[in-house]
Structure 1
Amino acid sequence: MNRKKTVLIDATSMLENAYYALPADCVKGIRNVVVRIIEEKQTEYMAAAFGSARSKKTTSQDFKEKEELLKETFHSLNIPVYTVEGARGKDLISSLAKNCEADGKEVVVLTGSEELLITVKEHVTVWIPDLGEQGLELKAWSADEVKERFGLDPEQLNDVFALERGADFGRKTACRLISQYGSLQPLYQQKENVQSKQIQDALVQYEKQIIKEAEELVISSDYDLHLDETKSIAETEISEIMEMDFEPAQFPEEGQEPTSSGWLIKEAASLSEAEAVFAGCSAGSSVGMQLAGKDKEITALALCLSSEECWCITAQEEITSHYLKEKAQEVCKRAEKVTFLDLKSQLPFLNLNEEKTVFDASVAAYLMDPQKSSYEYHELAESYLQLSLPSQTELLGKRSISQSMIENHQQAVTCICSMAAVSFLCGTILSEELKKTEMEQLFYEIEMPLIFSLFSMEETGIRVERDRLKEYGDRLKIKIKETELKIYEQTGETFNINSPKQLGEVLFEKMKLPGGKKTKTGYSTAADVLEKLAPDYPVISLILDYRQLTKLNSTYADGLAAYIGSDERIHGTFNQTITATGRISSTEPNLQNIPIRMELGREIRKVFVPEEGCVFVDADYSQIELRVLAHMSGDKRLIGAYQQAEDIHAITASEVFHVPLNEVTSLQRRNAKAVNFGIVYGISSFGLSEGLSISRKEASEYIEKYFETYPGVKVFLDKLVADAKETGYAVSMFGRRRPVPELKSSNFMQRSFGERAAMNSPIQGTAADIIKIAMIRVDGALKKQGLKSRIVLQVHDELLIETHMEELDQVKNLLVEEMKQAAKLAVPLEVDANVGESWFDAK
């Protein structure tokens, strides 16, 4: 069958991409691509579709005018244009492609969006414009090309994009997950089996966003649209079209780039022009600033001085990196307020010492809404300025600003100037919001100083002994093999232990173990299912050990080596805008999630060692969240129990079970401990019964007895929920807010989660704030006293200091004292401090 080639133009996505890359030339750019296709006789028919369901990006008047101009251009080229009221462009294109293919056409979809790769079939190819070595190229995506590049079939790509957009997964990770599990549904059904705990956590944390993205990515092909074959591109007079005037009569001055956002982007072309820009930053002025560079060398600086203009100054022969650094520091000292986005990422280019003039808009936005996934400039612009701006990824792809300054200069300038302009405009708004929400003190006294302490810790890094790491990995591999053989021996056959399907069949079909829950993809082998069976079936304990061991091997034994720098140290990243409760998180690598259920897991700490002539001093808070609960609830008996300075779990057991303290059994103490910690997290009778392997009735009785013993705690927790229902948020002792919209949900499970969040967020948030204050105090005291010792790690309620031997006594006393004095509570803050020649020894 001779299929006639037809090119279908996804005009909306093409225009969006072109508009944000080159606003003035966007229509001309698309016209040139289309004309090239016609001139090279790459098609017999063409059609274009425009979406009328507007995204936030396409609402500006300027964009609408460009859209009308593009439609006129298509009409002039004899290209039929399709629109349907309320329909998205991608749905129209998909419908046209399906019907054209059914009519015997060879279809090409020309689009600016990867979303339409899902339409690729045997007779449907997708072309996406891309910048190659020879300029603009049309990258052709066939089914084979999709399979080769993604390792997946086209229909699986929506789930990959949903993971990328909803949880910021990297493409390789997203493709691997969908390849392994097939789609999002089985991935979520078996998320406990995902080897990476970090990925598990992200799947849980961003589930709503991922599902929402997946739903929005679904493309409909149900519109009854058919190609108008009466319009032939062969009749088009190309020369007349090429002479069409696409531009307005007035142009901006040379060196200026107009934006749809209201400010002019200008580039300083000479040292004298740069000097004039910096001179405009007078004492008492307010500016927005953003820096880009590599290896601590500045390659570009953006400076926004007003809502009308933003300057970009690029390092060159006359304007050196050193010059830009000096000028940036001068501005930070002279101006009344300098607003950055993600200040910690800017500190490698500056020598700042907690300047009172600097303001981090990203951190301020995090305090206002700690449940967002990120706080990039385009998101702040949308939230606080009602502006739709292209993101850095949309402008530059995966390239850095520094790299793009060479490869894609104009878009890199647009990107860095957008950052500076948004930070400038949002700085005042966010300052007012902090006042309104009474979080000014939290921001200026905790979050802002913390930026500098975290940066110092990242720069210092922590030493890892490669030989020990290799030896640890070798031991793990031996242990994994031994455990694997024991599992085969006890199950009576060899199979893939990492395959949930095979494992489920062996356990619940062949061995007939109880508790098997069959799903569409096989039996569930999630951790909670197996842990119930572990006490009665040794093979289950072996399987759980096997999972821990393989995770230790992949994440730490093999994974850590990739992060060791040339100085033999790991310089991880510590994030303060990730968790909803205010806790600091650790990435690249995550050192806060080391499995400690087995001894071999704890031993990974042995590979972390101090420099020669140093030891580690490790200090952590004892039961900080329970102490916070005692203080915030004001319960006299709980406060009294802590003031006795005895075993709080034994005291609780004695009170709850009405037995003398010296007669409390180990089982009673264990149960009391579970209730103590469970109350902090809003545990239910079901959760407690699962954790202690007791009936729900017994668990309910334990909780009732606890509240009878400490009635002030019950009153306090009930009030937290009531207040959160009224205000919409929970608040910590230091004023940190966490929105709890789930409390208004019609779904029982969502409301229950909201109640738990309302109860535990103030406690966890307060504990998080205390460890932050402690960290700031310790870091400041070390520097103020002129000591060489430095904090190298923060993990939950623990600080680790690489301590020079001659400073040991001073550091240990300083560390304990500063941590104890971080907050004044009704109960003492107790700190356990130890010294060792590895993290393991000091813990």
Structure 2
Amino acid sequence: MEKLVLIDGNSIAYRAFFALPLLTNDKGVYTNAVYGFTNMLMKILEEQKPTHILIAFDAGKTTFRHKQYEAYKSDRQKTPPELSEQMPIIREVLESLSIPSVQVELYEADDIIGTLSKRAEEHGQDVRVFTGDKDLLQLVSERTHVAITKKGITNVDWYDEAAMKETYGIPATHIPDMKGLAGDSSDNIPGIPKVGEKTALKLLKEFGDITEVLDHADDVSGPKLQERLKEFRDQALMSRELAVIDRDSPVDMSIESLAYSGFDSSAVRKLFKEYGFNSLMKHLDNDDDHPEEASAELDDFTFQHENDVTSQMLVSPAALIIEDPMDNYHHADLWGMAIVNEQGSFTVPIEAALASDDFKGWLADSTKKKYLFDAKKSTVALGWRDIALQGVEFDALIASYLIDPSLSSHDLADISERRGQHTVLTDEEVYGKGAKQKKPEKDALLDHIARKAATLWKLVPMLSTELKQNDQKDLFETLELPLSTVLAEMELFGVSVDQEQLKVMGTELEERLTTLEKDIHTLAGTEFNINSPKQLGPILFERLELPVIKKTKTGYSTAADVLEKLEDKHEIIPKLLLYRQVSKLKSTYVEGLLKVIHKDTNKIHTRFNQALTQTGRLSSADPNLQNIPIRLEEGRKIRKVFVPSKKDWVILAADYSQIELRVLAHMSGDEKLMQAFHEGEDVHTKTAMDVFDVLKSEVTSEMRRNAKAVNFGIVYGISDYGLSQNLGITRKEAQSFIDKYFETYPKVKQYMDDSIAHAKDEGYVTTLLKRRRYLPDINNRNFNLRGFAERTAMNTPIQGTAADIIKKAMVDVANALTERNYESRLLLQVHDELIFEVPKNELADLEQLVTQLMSETLPLDVELVVDVEHGNTWYEAK
């Protein structure tokens, strides 16, 4: 039997947006609506197995219904820009899935669905409609069933004729009659005042359709209701007409054109990867065992395979590949080595290379210039073997990242292919990925490594030219390249951990969990498994009778966002939230850290990602030490386990104060904002004084909180919707705050306008140190794509410049430590903070040195303030 699936695109996207927290991918693009929409779509395809499918969208705000009633849908709030920006991505998803979509001028998605469901029924097809809008229930028939999404997104209530009778007690065709009587506030359909859905259904069951109800107004019970039925008769009939779906709308699509034969998994996988939808990969066919047969496209290539290092190889400059495919490369196996220079292309067995004193001497010689791809990774991999790598003249990974940080891949093969060459396959194509990664046969391995070195050799002059053209040569040579050496040293050195203290902390957290568990069981009046949503749900929503916020396929939702909305409803909720936080601390930051302490050094060696974020910020992984929670005291205490590696040394923390706001003040040149910093005032209090026009003594904590949210929100290009969510206020109030802020600091607004204008002219924005971010959608005719690009144009120079400042500080301080032959070591970089371990005899000098160097890193029109603290642990230093 043929089956047509019709989906109300706007309704499902809207539901998905509000059902999920705001999510972004690694490029900062909002994706929560796209993810929810796509998740439901994959489920529909798998469960319904449609032979035909279509997604219907609204064409715009104006429809033919506005001619009947000008105020139709006039009360609807403006769509949040965070949702609008995702609609084009949803269409990308549909294109990759080969699913057709349509919109018709002056008609709504409901009319398109109504028209096509009618045509499909006439063709003898079954129809399944998916929507969040109960208006479409009027389409229910023997062949057409309608699924209404619940508060979640993938769970639905199904309506067929039997369900309609059970739920409403009226035929599906009388749903518009019900709306005619009761109205519909969501669509601004007036109906009859003070007649609700319950009354409307009662009248329709008693008299039939709306006309019969109105004609028998004198027969209904209650004189006031009789009067309203007579007084608002015309309004009721008009309301009914507004609610009727036009099943003969001008949809220029045949049922045959909606035939569906599936999608190409590789295209969808690429899109899922781009937007970070890893959890949706399970819906795709596994084609990992069939890599692209790209070998035939590769250029002919020859190389010399030697058994030992020869003098020919050690000619500089040279492109060098030390092959270590693992991400966690501390003591990982090295797979091979290749060198390309003016003498030719060479490979040597890695064991022979690392045993050669000539080769190790050449690696450690800073006068011998070397080109690498990911020099930090090679430096660390060799460093674990006590082999030094110096003289790195060029790093293709860093160069590619600087040239365009928005690209999703900086694999050597991808960098090459973007420049018109296809001389090497990606590592994933040759080695596989994840659990399937394996070392290939010797010949294939040597060919791949040699090709990588040859490709690197070819790329260096190309990338060098591009860096010069972008005015980024100085950024590359004086900041990012030396930073990679600093980061490599930090990774190799690691940070010491007090394992006993960590274990004690684990015991304390376990005792805390036990106490919380007893409290929760007492409040619940029974014992149950707190970690089981199936057991917790009935406790909260049946036994304790708390209001149900959201349901899932398996029962009640007990997700964090649900519990947060119930926090003031019962004292068990704060206990549950705390229990979860403490439980996560124990598993992630106690048990998790214990697992990654290196057995030989008794330290944690995190890995810094230098070429990942579009703003230039560093991140860390394996483990992520930048993400240790600090809002909860139990979380802050995790920092107690990070200690100096030597007895009687201390931990020193140096933190930039409000660096992004200071950068904003400098870049905008706003006198009022700069004045707050010049006078050493609390900038949030000063903003509150100016925005609310009050004296300092009159600034309340709520005023300061609002001012702080706007101050930092402006840096991130926040919208009225985003601010309203942060502060728990209406969008109108949030917009008022933003407007007042710009009235107070007009040059901030001018800076943002100028940033957008520059981006429109040049296609990119830059930081003070010339880091670029390209914005291809800045002139897009699509309002949503353009809006995201405009916000990015405003905030990237600020965030990026702050990132440049902390990076430059790291290089400056590391150089100074070396020049002064200090024993002190830079251990970590966490956001705007640098962490050191320091012998006490160097402490006074280092406090002064670090403060001076960090505050003078980049000359700004406002002072860079550095807070320096020290203690026996990282916790005490903060």
TM-score by length of 2: 0.62
Name the structure 1 match of 2:628. 594
Deviation of the 1:361 alpha carbon: 0.1
CA–CA separation in structure 2 for the residues paired with 1:454 and 1:552: 27
- The question of 1:411 aligning with 2:478 is answered no
Q: How does 1:434-513 map to 2 (within 5 A)?
A: 434-499=467-532, 503=536, 506-508=539-541, 511-513=544-546
| Matched position secondary structure for 2:647 | coil
- Distance (whole Å) between structure 2 residues aligned to residue 701 and residue 328 of structure 1: 61
Q: Which residue of 2 aligns with 1:78?
A: none
The number of residue pairs the alignment matches comes to: 599
The alignment partner of 1:730 has SS state of strand
Change (3 A) 1:403 1:526: closer
Between stretches 753-762 and 574-583, larger displacement belongs to 753-762
Q: Deviations over 1:181-230 (max 9, x none)?
A: xxxx99x979xxxxxxxxxxxx999562547994994599xxxxxxxxxx
Deviation of the 1:839 alpha carbon: 0.3
Query: How far apart, in 2, do the equivalents of 1:691 and 1:208 lie?
Result: 24
Paired residue type of 1:485: K
Q: Secondary structure, in 3 states, of the residue corresponding to 1:694?
A: coil
Aligned mates of 2:353, 2:743 — CA distance in 1: 75
CA distance in 2, matches of 1:189, 1:480: 33
Matched, 1:564 2:597: yes
Label 1:822 to 1:424 Cα distance change in 2 as closer, same or farther (>3 A): same
- By how many angstroms is 1:740 displaced? 3.3
- 1:277 Cα shift? 3.4
| Deviation by residue 1:233-255 (Cα, 9 ceiling, x = unmatched) | xxxxxxxxxxxxxxxxxxxxxxx
Q: Shift of residue 746 of structure 1?
A: 7.3
Q: Which moved more, 1:460-469 or 1:677-686?
A: 677-686
Given the alignment, which residue of 646, 650, 657 partners 1:622?
A: 657
Which residue does the alignment assign to 1:266? 304
What displacement does 1:501 show? 5.9
User: Secondary structure at 1:596's aligned position in 2?
Assistant: coil
Q: Which runs of 5+ in 1 are unaligned?
A: 1-161, 163-184, 191-202, 221-256
Q: 1:658 aligns with which of 693, 706, 712?
A: 693
Deviation at 1:681, TM superposition (A): 1.2
Shift of 1:760: 1.9
Q: Distance in 2 between matches of 1:721 and 1:837?
A: 47
The alignment-based identity, stated in percent, is: 42
Distance verdict in 2 for CA 1:341–1:319, change over 3 Å: closer
Q: Counterpart of 2:471 in 1: which secondary structure?
A: coil
| 1:694 counterpart residue number | 729
Change (3 A) 1:800 1:316: closer
Q: Deviation string for 1:115-173 (max 9, x for gaps)?
A: xxxxxxxxxxxxxxxxxxxxxxxxxxxxxxxxxxxxxxxxxxxxxxx9xxxxxxxxxxx
Shift of the alpha carbon at 1:789?
Answer: 0.5
The change in CA–CA distance for 1:623 and 1:219 in structure 2 (over 3 A counts) is: closer
Which residue type is aligned with residue 819 of structure 1? M
Q: What corresponds to 2:799 in structure 1?
A: 764
Relative to structure 1, the CA distance from residue 840 to residue 209 in structure 2 (aligned partners, 3 Å threshold; closer, same or farther) is closer
Task: After TM superposition, give the deviation of residue 723 of structure 1 in Å.
Answer: 3.1
Matches within 5 A, 1:295-314: 300-305=336-341, 310-314=345-349
The secondary structure found in structure 1 opposite 2:834 is strand
Q: Which residue of 2 aligns with 1:339?
A: 371
Equivalent in the alignment of 1:208 = 275
Kept in 1, the 8 Å contact 2:824–2:839? The answer is yes
- Structure 2 residue aligned with 1:709: 744
Alignment match of 2:322 (pick from 281, 285, 291): 291
Change (3 A) 1:707 1:500: farther
Q: Structure 1 stretch 357-366 or stretch 497-506: which is displaced more?
A: 497-506
- 1:259–1:265 CA contact under 8 A, matched in 2: no
Aligned-pair RMSD on alpha carbons?
Answer: 3.7
Matches within 5 A, 1:764-803: 764-803=799-838
Work out which of the two has the higher radius of gyration on C-alpha atoms and give 1 or 2: 2
Alpha carbons of 1:512 and 1:710: their partners in 2 closer, same or farther (altered >3 Å)? farther
Deviation at 1:573, TM superposition (A): 0.9
Structure-to-structure mapping, 1:26-41, within 5 angstroms: none
User: Which structure 2 residue ranges, 5 or more long, are not aligned?
Assistant: 1-95, 97-148, 155-269, 288-294, 325-329
Q: Matches of residues 161-560 of structure 1 in structure 2 within 5 Å?
A: 208=275, 210=277, 214=281, 217-218=284-285, 260-270=298-308, 274-278=310-314, 281=315, 286-292=317-323, 300-305=336-341, 310-315=345-350, 320-329=355-364, 333-335=367-369, 338-348=370-380, 349=382, 358-387=393-422, 389-397=424-432, 404=439, 408-499=441-532, 503=536, 506-508=539-541, 511-514=544-547, 516-518=549-551, 524-560=557-593
Task: Note the C-alpha offset of 1:509.
Answer: 5.6
Q: Would you say the 8 A contact 1:298–1:321 is kept in 2?
A: no
- Structure 1 position 823, deviation (Å): 0.9
**Alpha carbons of structure 1 residues 347 and 533: separation in structure 2 relative to 1, 3 Å:** same
Q: Distance in 2 between matches of 1:357 and 1:704?
A: 50
Describe the shift of the 1:782–1:722 C-alpha distance in structure 2 as closer, same or farther (beyond 3 A). same
TM superposition shift of 1:668: 1.5
**Alpha-carbon offset, residue 571 of structure 1:** 1.4
Q: 1:521 to 1:333 in 2, by over 3 A?
A: farther
- Contact map agreement 1:649 1:673 (CA 8 A) in 2: yes
Secondary structure of the residue aligned to 2:486 is helix
Cα–Cα, structure 1 residues 832 and 319, in superposed 2: closer, same or farther, change >3 Å? closer
User: Could you give the per-residue CA deviations for residues 294-343 of structure 1, whole angstroms, max 9, x where no partner exists?
Assistant: 8599874311126x95210225669834332223445x6244xx321100
Report the Cα distance in structure 2 between the residues aligned to 1:702 and 1:803, rounded to whole angstroms.
Answer: 45
Please list the CA deviations of residues 566-612 of structure 1 after superposition, one character each: whole Å capped at 9, or x if unmatched.
22211111111121211110111111011122110100000111121
Structure 1's 523 and 208: CA in aligned 2 closer, same or farther, altered over 3 A? farther
Task: Identify which range, 791-800 or 570-579, moves more after superposition.
Answer: 570-579
The answer for the alignment partner of 2:617 in structure 1 is 583
Deviation of the 1:660 alpha carbon:
1.2
| Deviation string, structure 1 residues 645-669 (Cα, Å, up to 9, x no partner) | 1111111111111111233222221
SS in 2 for 1:559: helix
Rounded to whole Å, the distance in 1 between the matches of 2:276 and 2:619 is 20
1:667-678 matches, cutoff 5 A: 667-678=702-713
1:519-545 deviation per Cα after TM superposition (whole angstroms, max 9, x unaligned):
556555444443343244433322322
